């Protein structure tokens, strides 16, 4: 793996803070499904080389938020700028090109069950990195598998993998195209505590090695505290609090206290 000293890994401190350097900027975002208002005037920024955790109970709008960022779901009102481009107004080809810079780790992993691990990793490379030779594709696949600690899984089918292994392979497929931004949708859901800790450590390793900026959607407090440079807490579809993790841990607010204690 990228770093065997997991206990010493901590979120990167080399995080941008200048408004002009944000890689994602969301202003006054609203999203409803019928009469149900899921997101209410959400505003946030993601800076280079930052892990931003979006925390909240199930149904608070966390997953809807990141699907709006890549325009998998259309917004009702508000703006979402990624690398200063408003995704809500991009043409189809412009949106495709922008999405090439964004890795999305789905909650389910979303591996292709009919493909081997090798084929799952080659697939995005052949679509997105068309300039690569067959040798470069082979080398890249082996590199990311080594980085997630699963070099031996190259020819396995997804059905032969444990839940934690599937999550690692999904992360390898996300980073294989060298995205600048990664969106993690509940990366530790359904995993046992030991495997959850390993995935959280791996998120930090990816941040350090690939210099990614990431939004991590979770309700797993341990994952949040392990990976976050900054935390935004959603409640009832709105931003309830934003700050450093120490501010959340030391808060006397009853709602926040119920999460962290």
B/e letters for 42-65, b = 16+ CB within 10 Å, e = fewer, are: bebbbbbbbbbbbbbeeebbbbbb
Report the distance separating Cα 211 and Cα 233, nearest Å: 24
List the one residue out of 216, 249, 220 whose CA is nearest residue 46. 216
- Closest by CA to 188, choosing from 176, 170, 173, 174, is 170
Backbone angles phi, psi at 182, to 5 degrees: -125, 135
Conformational region of residue 113, where left means phi above 0, alpha means psi within -120 to 50, and beta covers everything else: alpha
Which H or E run includes 217? strand 213-218
State how far the Cα of 198 lies from the Cα of 111, in Å rounded to an integer: 20
Give the domain range for residue 169. 112-178
Q: Tell me, what DSSP letter sits at residue 48?
A: T
Q: Residue 86 CB: number of other CB atoms within 10 A? A: 12
Q: Does a structural domain hold residue 157?
A: yes
- The domain tally of the chain equals 1
DSSP state, 35? T
| Residue indicated by tokens 């979006």 | 54
Is residue 51 assigned to a domain?
no
Rg (CA), the chain: 18
Secondary structure (3-state) at 142:
helix
68 is a domain residue = no
- Is residue 69 one of the residues assigned to a domain? no
Residue 50 domain flag: no
List the one residue out of 7, 9, 8, 65 whose CA is nearest residue 203. 9
DSSP 8-state class, residue 73: S
Residue 168 placed within a domain:
yes
Residue 159 lies in a domain: yes
In this prediction the pTM is 0.87
Q: Please report whether residue 134 resides in a domain.
A: yes
CA distance linking residue 29 with residue 43, whole number of Å: 7
Q: What is the pLDDT along the chain (261 residues), one digit of tens a residue?
A: 554 444 455 676 555 544 458 999 999 999 999 999 999 999 999 999 999 999 988 778 898 999 999 999 999 999 999 999 999 999 999 999 999 999 998 876 688 889 999 999 999 999 888 888 999 999 999 999 998 888 898 999 999 998 888 988 999 999 999 999 999 999 998 888 998 999 999 999 999 999 999 999 998 899 999 999 999 999 999 999 999 989 998 898 998 988 877
| φ and ψ at residue 2, rounded to 5 degrees | -65, -30
């Amino acid at each position: 793996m990228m770093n065997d000293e997991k206990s010493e890994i901590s979120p990167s401190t080399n995080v941008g803070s200048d408004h002009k350097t944000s890689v994602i900027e969301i202003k006054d975002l609203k999203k409803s499904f019928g009469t149900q208002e899921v997101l209410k005037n959400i505003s946030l920024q993601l800076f280079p080389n930052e892990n931003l955790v979006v925390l909240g109970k199930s149904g608070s709008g966390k997953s809807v938020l990141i699907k709006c960022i890549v325009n998998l779901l259309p917004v009702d009102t508000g703006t979402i700028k990624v690398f200063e481009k408003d995704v809500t107004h991009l043409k189809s080809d412009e949106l495709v090109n922008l999405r090439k810079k964004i890795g999305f780790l789905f909650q389910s992993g979303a591996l292709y069950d009919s493909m081997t691990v090798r084929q799952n990793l080659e697939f995005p490379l052949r679509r997105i990195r068309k300039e690569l030779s067959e040798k470069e594709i082979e080398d890249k696949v082996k590199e990311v598998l080594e980085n997630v600690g699963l070099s031996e899984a190259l020819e396995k089918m997804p059905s032969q993998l444990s839940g934690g292994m599937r999550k690692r392979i999904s992360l390898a497929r996300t980073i294989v195209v060298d995205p600048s931004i990664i969106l993690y949708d509940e990366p530790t859901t359904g995993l046992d505590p030991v495997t959850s800790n390993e995935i959280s450590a791996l998120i930090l390793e990816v941040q350090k090695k690939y210099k990614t900026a990431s939004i991590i959607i979770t309700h797993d407090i341990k994952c949040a505290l392990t990976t976050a440079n900054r935390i935004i807490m959603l409640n009832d579809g709105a931003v309830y609090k934003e700050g450093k993790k120490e501010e959340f841990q030391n808060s006397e607010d009853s709602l926040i206290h119920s999460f962290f204690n």
